[in-house]
């Protein structure tokens, strides 16, 4: 392992190359996710609503329930809850 100015060049190169490979994989996965959203949209699904749903599914159940309760409270406070026109 060469050592230049206190830096292990081979080890540094290995880290950089691993990060570059992971960045490439991340880009490929991101493209795949975009493709799935496009497919869902093509089948009539609302992508914006799907993204919101996915964000909610990532939350802990208790956190999500608390957030939903607060949103419901705020909707009522603004007179926006349960309106049917």
| Same-domain pairing of 56 and 33 | no
pLDDT of residue 20: 98
16 and 51 inside one domain: no
Indicate whether 32 and 51 sit together in one domain: no
Q: 41 with 3, same domain?
A: yes
- pTM of the predicted model as reported, rounded to 2 decimal places: 0.70
Report the pLDDT value the prediction gives residue 84, as an integer from 0 to 100: 57
pLDDT tens, 28-58?
A: 999 999 999 999 999 999 999 999 999 999 9
21 shares a domain with 59: no
Residues 73 and 53 in one domain: yes
Residue 82 pLDDT exceeds 60: yes
Residues 2 and 39 grouped into a single domain: yes
**Do 59 and 22 fall within a single domain?**
no
**DSSP E strands, the chain:** 3-4, 7-8
Q: Provide the domain limits for residue 25.
A: 1-45
What are the Cα distances from residue 24, in Å, to 17, 34, 53? 11, 15, 27
């Amino acid at each position: 392992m060469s050592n230049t100015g206190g830096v292990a060049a081979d080890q540094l190169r290995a880290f950089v190359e691993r990060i570059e490979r992971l960045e490439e994989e991340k880009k490929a996965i991101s493209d795949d996710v975009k493709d799935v959203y496009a497919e869902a949209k093509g089948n009539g699904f609302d992508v914006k609503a799907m993204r919101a749903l996915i964000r909610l599914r990532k939350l802990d159940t208790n956190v999500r329930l608390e957030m939903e309760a607060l949103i419901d409270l705020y909707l009522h406070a603004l007179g926006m809850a349960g309106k049917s026109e």
